[in-house]
Amino acid sequence: MANYILRRLLYAIPIAIGVTVICFSLIYLGPSDPIAAVMPDEASAADVQRIREAYGFDKPVPVQYALWLMRAVQGDFGNSLQSNRPVLDELIPALQNTLRLAVFAAALSFAIAVVVGSVAAYSQGTWLDKTVTSFAITGVSVPHYWVAIMLVIVFAVELGWLPAMGMGTGSSRDWAWDAEHMKALILPVISLSLIPAGIITRTTRASVLEVLSHDYVETLRAKGLSEATVLRHVLKNASPTVLAVTGLQFGHLLGGSILIETVFVWPGTGFLLNESIFKRDLPVLQGTILVLAMFFVFVNLTVDIMQTWLDPRIKRD
């Protein structure tokens, strides 16, 4: 087991390196020269050259990469071209804000999807199954920002129960676990849960159905186990697939939804990415993408390790 985890960690290294290369290359993939973007149009060629040297853009590309990477691993992603503050200062609060949404949305969609998906599988072919499946498809296909706007109209504008936007009083850095802030979470979390809930429901339904078709379920019943115990066996067998999909969805949620965070004016990573793209703030963009990609790698690693713990056949190389 320890061996397997170590091997998985080693596999993660080349992936991480690849991610840094891609993030670094963003500078050169962009449609315009980043220096030109920050310099006023009337700046002299000498001034542009001076800034170019100050930011190290005059050095060969591999050297630039090495220097950037060395700073990046120490948490120094440079300064925002826009605010001139360290990228990390912008990134950390945004990440925290998105994490609050992502954790709740992932938990909510996972909890609903596992129950509803299992019920659908157990009642395969009935109206219940068909209802669940059509809701799941609707959840995936309906534009979630539209649902978000509808939720705002109903619950914020018409009923006035919940705030329409923002994350409660205070600045984006003042979060507290009180009723007021929690209320602000509800609508964005529901909107964000739609797609993952739909996808995980369908995965759960399919995996549970697949497990139910196996001979060993008959053995479990032949042993006289209660249906609850049989269900426990079925879910454990279905869990590796469901977890893998949930992990991917959680990864997506961590990236923050540009659309949902825009609708709710939620200052998370999606919001930050959107802003830095429009303002050509490359250091912020690079740093954010790099950190999010690393999170993604980490989440997948965690899922992989959890799978070996749930299904002993996986670690057999």
Partner 1 sequence: MAETMGLVQDVSATPSRVPPIVQVDDLHVRFVSKDATVYAVNGVSFTLDPGEVLCILGESGSGKSVTLRALMRLLPRKRAVINGRVIVDGHDILSLSTSALSRVRGEIVSMIFQEPMTALDPVYSIGEQITETVRRHEKIGRAAAEARALELLELVQIPSAKRRLKAFPHELSGGLRQRAMIAIALSCRPRVLLADEPTTALDATVQIQILLLLRQLQKELGMSVIFVTHDLGVAGEIADRITVMYGGRFVEEGPTTAVMRDPLHPYTRGLLASTVHGQMHRERLRTIEGSPPNMEMLPAACSFAPRCRYAVDRCLEGVPDLHRPFPNRSARCIRLEEIGSMT
Q: Where does residue 45 rank: exposed (0-12), middle (13-18), buried (19+ CB within 10 A)? A: exposed
Among 164, 225, 248, 301, binds partner 1 (CB under 8 A): 225
Compute the least distance from the CB of residue 129 to partner 1, in Å.
12
Q: Which is nearer to partner 1, 73 or 222 (CB)?
A: 222
223 binds partner 1 (CB under 8 A): yes
d(CA 104, CA 121): 25
Q: Which is nearer to partner 1, 11 or 309 (CB)?
A: 309
> Which residue stretch of 26-34, 49-57, 90-98, 215-223 sits at the interface with partner 1 (rule: CB under 8 A)?
215-223
d(CA 104, CA 185): 9
Residues in 293-312 that interact with partner 1 by CB under 8 A: 310-312
Q: Which is nearer to partner 1, 7 or 236 (CB)?
A: 236
221 binds partner 1 (CB under 8 A): yes
Q: Which is nearer to partner 1, 96 or 308 (CB)?
A: 308
222 binds partner 1 (CB under 8 A): yes
233 binds partner 1 (CB under 8 A): yes
Are 106 and 246 a contacting pair, CB within 8 Å? yes
d(CA 183, CA 169): 12
313 binds partner 1 (CB under 8 A): yes
d(CA 308, CA 115): 23
CA quadruple 200, 201, 202, 204: dihedral, nearest 10: 80
3 binds partner 1 (CB under 8 A): no
Which residue type occupies 117?
A: G
Would you call 86 helix, strand, or coil by DSSP?
strand
220 binds partner 1 (CB under 8 A): yes
> Which residue stretch of 30-38, 42-50, 93-101, 216-224 sits at the interface with partner 1 (rule: CB under 8 A)?
216-224
1 binds partner 1 (CB under 8 A): no
d(CA 153, CA 135): 22
d(CA 69, CA 96): 24
Give the binding site for partner 1 (CB under 8 A).
214-216, 218-227, 229, 233, 236-237, 310-313, 316
